[in-house]
Chains A and B, each alone.
Chain A
Amino acid sequence: MTDAEPIWLIEMQSISKAFGASRVLKDVTLRLRAGSVHALMGENGAGKSTLMKILAGVHRSDAGRILKNGEPLHLPSPREALAAGISTVFQEMSLLPNLTIAENMFLGREPLTGSGSPDRRKMRAETAKALAELDLRLDPDQLVSTLTIAERQFVEIAHGIKADASVLILDEPTAALNAADVEVLNRSIRRLKAEGKAIVYISHRMDEIFDMCDEVTVLKDGQYVGTKTIRDVTQHSLIAMMVGRELSDLYPVRAASFGQPVLELTAFRASGKARPFDLMLRQGEILGLAGLEGQGQQKIMRSLMGRFVPAGGSLRLHGQALKFPRPVNGIRAMAQLGVGFVPEDRKEEGLMLGLSVASNLVIALHSERPAFTRARGLGSVVKQMMDSLHVKAASPAIPVGSLSGGNQQKVLLGRYLARNVKLLVIEEPTRGVDIGAKSEIYRLLRDFANVGGAVLVTSRETIELIGLCDRLAVVHGDTVVAAMPAADATEHSILAAALTTSEVAA
């Protein structure tokens, strides 16, 4: 091997991937060396996880190819990826809860005894060995469903570290771990590196990146930004590579003044261990819950609809004290109080894709009325909403699923705007939406606030929250760790606010 022409263990060339109308990866390249730890960095939604799922055979790329030692690989399913020596520890839990640790460790590649049975003794012994290397004292025969989150995370890691794998993907392995656990993990990673394996490491914790990694590749909006050796970058320059975008006139002008409080949360505790916090939202205001993905933003929002039961705190709406809504009728009860909730997953929780645009727009209006009464025509409401939202559809009768992502999102918002709600709770305002429609949606939300509405919003895209909101609350570890006017916020300052307080007990 010469420096001029390095042989890459794995080379992903010009990978592109789209889910429906939204393009997640565009022409991305990633090259991994044997015996090195490669950090993959980018903001939420930059495409890191999708790229790794393509390498793991979970998703198939639309274009591009993957080479191992210069030979093309075909990875139609995880089975082939595993056979090619590519092993993955995914961000979300994928252990099977009804199997033991040992069975999970060897599932799909169980050693057999002479009689063809899975060799439980061998599985148990090797599992115990693998767990010991991670300083874990767990019974290999324990069911995974009885483990804590951190223990599961370690079992996932132990599962990924296979003797015959030459590539190991670690997708945010430390999210559920405390500092001591992280050190144990780091030791294992160094050992694997010394054994000549290539490791992809995805993490938002800067100290880990500089501590562990040799090289870093940065993605932004699904595009390749660059690859650097870790010695050539600083924290500052790395964040600049990840963010570095101009705030354009995509966003409407912020509000000058606010009215009465609409929503007040006091001493709110999302989970038992989280620190209590207060939150207030006023008429005319758009408040964003910022921070890294999955830090409790969703719990806070869903506790307003009864879809999550908080550990404590009190709720006031328009000055009136309320109980937190219950799961069984929370959405209906809050709807009657003028609260609209826009769920993040448009396809699963938001729209009824097979039904018409008109049906999707007016269903929330229908649901205010008793079941056995005549359904009002509401054709004029549909027309008015489609006009004011600029929904591009051949007719109100076509299935909403045939529209583009942006138009679908507008229909989803329109459903709640048609109801004259006073408070909109929005999980992802513009997920999978093209840039033009984004701008329109921002304007719609601002118009809604300007006529006295209030908006509570979260988003994976921090830049969107900065541009759209009046005020930001940074959420980390199920609590609000910082609050700032959006006008003064930068991606850097938000990331810093979240990460500097990032020692969360597992």
Chain B
Amino acid sequence: MLRRLVSVPPAYYVFGLLLLTLWLARPNMLNPNVLGIFIRQVVPLGILVLGQLLVMRVRSIDLSGGGVILLINYIITSRTFPEASGLTFILMALAIGGGVGLLNGFMVAKRRVSAVIVTLAVSIILVGFVQFLSSGKPPGDVPKYMNEIFNISLGFVPLPVLFWVVCTGIMWLVMQQSVYGRYVEAVGENAEAAAFCGVPVERTVVMAHVLAGLIAAVAALVQTGSIAVGSVRVGLDLPILAVAATILGGVVFGRGEGGVWGPFFGVLSFALLFVVMTVFGIGDPGKLIAQGLIILMAAILYGSRSKRG
């Protein structure tokens, strides 16, 4: 019975619990319009999580997303490329994300360097680079059309939220239906055995990092649309939140019981958590503690499970 209970990703309970708390504390906030706004704010996180869950499924991690988001945000808002169209920005963003992902993947899969250290170092390099370019000052305004697209709503469903759901659906399809999904599953469960099955283990891990980099680029575009003015701090806390949301959603190094929708609810839980904490007047320090505790608790839960199994 207990085993069955823990096989449901914690995100679902936490989400339910937070919804209940909010309903008891501020029932008037539980209407689609208000919730839509809250959820819209976590869409960049929600998209970033799709890459995080992929690399965590192959027992790696990607903490470089913050640097990628910051760099792309800087390039768009600083008017370094004043003539650039939206499509150019998108291509540039994808090139940056893919390039960073390729570097991460090469270092992790081929050079066998610790993924945490590689991706943290890459993030530090990118952040230092952007802060140097901008001298630490906010770069400039976000192009109007990006804000406008971000603010479109279809009924009470904001467009970014819909986009997030579609992205998550695509990731679900890839994991469920593609050969690559089977590779990821096999490598995460037992890389040695996967190699003996003929699965290209290193290539699978490199590809996971490249995809995670591309996804971070998409998250960066959405994040940029969500703010009016560029910033040199934007998105820096997203990678660690993405790790927390992914673990909360039942995906942890090499194991994927939570699938794609568990982490989806992990992100929704964070959206509600921030609302609830604001309602109760808990500030940023409390959020940091909550992030750390969630990572720790979820990792302990899965750590002790893998020991038993």
Q: Are chains A and B touching in the complex at the 8 Å CB cutoff?
A: yes
A367 touches B255 (CB 8 A): no
Given A375-B177, A375-B178, answer yes or no on A355-B200 (Cβ-Cβ < 8 Å).
Answer: no
Contact flags (1/0) for B172-195 with A, using CB distance below 8 Å? Answer: 000001111111011001101111
Q: Does any Cβ of A come within 8 Å of B199's Cβ? A: yes
Q: How far apart are B4's CB and chain A's nearest CB, in angstroms? A: 14
In the complex, A369 Cα to B198 Cα: how many Å? 11
Query: Bound complex: CA of A497 vs CA of B182, how far in Å?
Result: 47
Within 8 A of B (CB), among A347-369: 348-355, 359, 363-364, 366-369
**B180–A415 touching, CB < 8 Å:** no
The answer, yes or no, to whether A256 is at the interface (CB within 8 Å) is: no
Q: How many Å lie between the Cα of A371 and that of B181 in the bound state?
A: 8
Q: Which of B183, B190, B192, B207 has the most CB of A within 10 A?
A: B190
The CA-CA distance from A329 to B183 in the complex, in Å, is: 15
Q: Encode contact with A along B200-243: 1 for CB under 8 Å, 0 otherwise.
A: 10111001000000000000000000000000000000000000
B154 at the A interface (CB under 8 A): no
Residues of A with C-beta under 8 A to B177: 374-375
How far apart sit A335 and B200, CA to CA, in the bound complex (Å)?
12
A415 CB contacts on chain B under 8 angstroms: 197
Interchain CB contact under 8 A, A367 and B183 = yes
Nearest-Cβ distance from residue B130 to partner chain A, whole angstroms: 32
Listed residue (B186, B193, B199) with the most chain A CB atoms within 10 angstroms of its CB: B193
Point out the residue from A348, A349, A355, A368 that lies within 8 Å of B185, measured CB to CB: A355
Neighbour of A375 across the interface among B179, B192, B199, B200, CB < 8 A: B179
Q: Are A359 and B309 in contact, CB atoms less than 8 angstroms apart?
A: no
* Known interface pairs A331-B196, A343-B196, A367-B197; A355-B189 also in contact (CB < 8 Å): yes
Q: How far is the CB of A272 from chain B (nearest CB, A)?
A: 27
| B180:A352 contact, CB within 8 angstroms | no
Interface residue count on the B side (C-beta < 8 Å): 26
Check if B198 sits within 8 Å of A359, measured CB to CB: no
Determine which of B182, B196, B207 lies in contact with A349 in the assembled complex, contact meaning CB atoms within 8 Å.
Answer: B196
Question: Which residues of chain A are within 8 angstroms of B197 by Cβ–Cβ distance?
Answer: 331, 363-364, 367, 415
Are B186 and A355 within 8 A (Cβ)? yes
Answer whether residue A370 sits at the interface, using C-beta atoms and an 8 A cutoff. yes
* A354 in contact with B255 given A367-B183, A371-B207 (CB within 8 Å): yes
- Secondary structure dominating the interface of B: helix
Do A372 and B195 have beta carbons less than 8 Å apart? Answer: no
Among candidates A328, A353, A371, residue contacting B178 with C-beta atoms closer than 8 Å: A371
A348 surroundings in chain B (CB, below 8 A): 190, 192-193
- Contact (Cβ within 8 A) A363 B199: yes
In the complex, what residues of A have CB within 8 A of residue B178's CB? 371-375
Q: Contacts of A375 on B, CB cut-off 8 Å?
A: 177-179, 181-182
Bound form: Cα–Cα A353–B178 in Å: 21
- Given that A364-B197, A367-B199 are contacting pairs, would A353 and B190 also be in contact in the complex, using a CB cutoff of 8 Å? yes
By a CB distance below 8 angstroms, the chain A residues around B200 are 329, 332, 367, 371
| CB contact list, B241-277 vs A, under 8 A | 255
Q: Once the chains bind, are B196 and A366 in contact (CB under 8 Å)?
A: no
Give chain A nearest CB distance to B113 CB in angstroms: 18
Q: Of the candidates A332, A350, A371, A372, which one forms a contact with B193 in the assembled complex, judged by CB atoms under 8 Å apart? A: A350
Q: Which residues of A sit under 8 angstroms from B203, Cβ to Cβ?
A: 371
Residues of B within 8 A of A350 (CB): 193, 196
Among A341, A363, A370, contact of B194 (Cβ-Cβ < 8 Å): A363
Kindly supply a per-residue 1/0 record for chain A positions 9-42, scoring 1 wherever the CB is within 8 Å of any chain B CB and 0 otherwise.
0000000000000000000000000000000000
- Report yes or no: B193 in contact with A351, Cβ–Cβ below 8 A: yes
How near does chain B come to A325, taking the closest CB pair, in angstroms?
12
Assembled-state Cα–Cα distance A335/B194 (Å): 13
In the assembled complex, the CB of A206 is this many whole angstroms from the nearest CB of chain B, namely: 37
Closest to A356 in B: B185
- Kindly state whether residue A401 has any CB partner on chain B within 8 Å: yes
CB distance from B308 to the nearest CB of A (A): 12
- Give the complex CA separation of A363 and B255 in angstroms: 17
Give A353 to B255 CA distance when docked, in angstroms.
12
Nearest A residue to B203 via CB reads: A371
Report the minimal beta-carbon distance from A390 to chain B, rounded to whole angstroms: 22
Tell me if B186 and A352 are in contact (CB < 8 A): yes
Interface string of A230-241 (1 = CB under 8 A from B): 000000000000
- The reply to whether A372 and B180 contact each other, CB–CB distance below 8 Å, is yes
Interface mask (A314-343 → B, CB under 8 Å = 1, otherwise 0): 000000000000001101100100000101
Q: Which residues of B contact A363 (CB under 8 A)?
A: 182, 186, 194, 197, 199
Q: If the complex has contacts A354-B255, A375-B179, are A331 and B195 also in contact, measured as CB distance less than 8 A? A: yes
The answer on a CB contact under 8 Å between A372 and B186 is no
Q: Which residues of A contact B199 (CB under 8 A)?
A: 363, 367
Instruction: Give the CA-CA distance A348 to B190 in the complex, in Å.
Output: 7
Q: Measured between C-beta atoms, what is the minimum distance from A414 to chain B in Å?
A: 12
Question: Which residues from chain B sit less than 8 Å from chain A, CB to CB?
Answer: 177-183, 185-186, 189-190, 192-200, 202-204, 207, 255, 309
A sample of 17 inter-chain contacts (CB < 8 A) reads A329-B200, A331-B198, A341-B196, A348-B192, A351-B190, A352-B185, A353-B189, A353-B190, A354-B190, A364-B197, A367-B197, A371-B178, A371-B180, A371-B200, A371-B203, A374-B179, A375-B182
Which A residues form the contact surface with B (CB < 8 A)? 328-329, 331-332, 335, 341, 343, 348-355, 359, 363-364, 366-375, 401, 415
7 closest Cβ contacts across the A-B interface? A352-B189, A367-B198, A371-B180, A335-B198, A366-B182, A352-B190, A363-B197
Q: List 9 additional A-B contacts (Cβ < 8 Å) besides A332-B198, A359-B182.
A: A331-B198, A352-B193, A353-B190, A359-B186, A363-B199, A370-B179, A371-B179, A371-B204, A374-B178
